[in-house]
Amino acid sequence: MSSKQIPEYALVGRSNVGKSSLINSLLNNKKIAKTSSTPGKTILINHFKINESFYLVDLPGYGYANLSKKIKEDIKKTHRSYFKFRKQLLYTFLLIDIRHNLQKVDIEFMEFLNDNLCPFVIIFTKSDKLKSGQIESQINDLRKQLSIYWDELPTSYVTSSKDKSGIDDIFNFIEESLKEYKI
């Protein structure tokens, strides 16, 4: 990586998983990344520069059925190109809605990241939509599902853009990985 390249952290996940909301929470500004209740609104890559130190990169969601075949193929090409050629990408934050089981498309995307040597962290989103007692149970279920595919589970965080839980954990992760990057 050239010394002039600023490190990147990509956010990706199924459509409507909360990528833009998470970016807004991380930036403490509800209007930076456009949010919508309609899935599939982000179809381009959006970069958000943070303190001249790194970029948060909002990638189009995957797995949304109501997009045209051409748009879905364009999104796949965008993903393939981004992950293959972004040497400044430090980590990918793969977002999973905590309320739902993993889907085949999530596992396929994790395998794609692994095959392309892209380290990733799982961010479980929308924890505010569950009762506190349900969160731990659902996380355990999701980890069991992941353990079918991974001997060593990826690092994961539980977040809520609504109540900001888990946001500091993500910033701490970024801060630590930036220290390692600069060594």
CATH of residue 70's domain is: 3.40.50.300
Work out how many domains the chain is built from and give that number: 1
Would you give the DSSP letter of residue 150?
A: -
Helix (H) or strand (E) holding 166: none
In tens, the pLDDT along 25-71 reads 998 876 666 655 555 555 789 999 999 999 999 998 887 767 788 88
Q: What percent of the chain has pLDDT over 70?
A: 89
Q: Is 13 exposed, middle or buried (0-12, 13-18, 19+ CB in 10 A)?
A: buried
β pairing state of 89-97 and 8-13? parallel
Domain that holds residue 134: 8-182
Q: Is residue 17 part of a domain?
A: yes
Q: Is residue 2 part of a domain?
A: no
pLDDT(181) > 50: yes
| Count of Cβ atoms closer than 10 Å to residue 154 Cβ | 16
For 134, residues 6+ apart whose C-beta sits below 8 A from its C-beta are none
- The phi, psi pair for 63, rounded to 5°, reads 85, 10
**Sign of the CA dihedral running 60, 107, 110, 77:** negative
Predicted TM-score (pTM) of the model is: 0.89
In tens, the pLDDT along 131-174 reads 988 999 999 999 999 999 888 999 999 999 999 999 999 999 99
Helix/strand/coil percent split, the chain, to 5: 40, 20, 40
